[in-house]
Structure 1
């Protein structure tokens, strides 16, 4: 354990989040996502895990240390429900609330069609699989910057 670091963040996840640069993407995936096979194709190349956490719990821990990109519209995204792109299931509403709290204002995620999300994930920096069992608990976060002290 480290002082001031969310204990839900393990060493491997912290390492990957720290290694990411501005604009790099991390995928937060549910238990049904083909996480291992897709993670092998990412920059990091290995699957990271945050077992026994919901997507919202994992997002809350991740966003406690990861700034979201403020320069782009696709700073965060959610996997669309098949044939219902405007539907926002409870798991996605929970993560949206976590994002809004971390950002200090409402900032809606973009939606990404399911197969486009898989393709997008293959180009990501890393994939983190959670213990989320609800469908469509898959998200992307684009790393922003931390400004210098004034």
Structure 2
């Protein structure tokens, strides 16, 4: 169990067979027997400079229960036999659902369909937009219906 310390605080406390380190880690100093219960207070201490180190008024009560240690069973040995795999032929692969390259065929089909979709969108929307833009720059509309020409000043 680790207690997170904020700022510069320390935790202190101890009980029979247990000690709390300043970092908040709880360490056993003696062996526990199954069923043994140890309860002890732990205090937080702030190491501030003004007004000085402060200790918490109310302790945190830590309770530790001793339980029986479970031993891991000895590893069992198993007899393994080596078998030779059956040779793979195209007939066997087809019987189990195809080849390993089936994903590539699907990816190619999807890629071709996406290219066709892009070509369709370009023809339907891109080329007409380019032509409209080209026509506007080549033949701009007249600004005014009446204006004077320098070659023919009498024309109005």
TM-score by shorter chain over 0.5: no
> What's the TM-score, normalizing by structure 1?
0.21
Query: Could you tell me the TM-score, scaled by structure 2's length?
Result: 0.21
* Greater relative contact order structure (CA < 8 Å, 6+ sep): 1
Who wins on radius of gyration, i.e. which is larger? 2
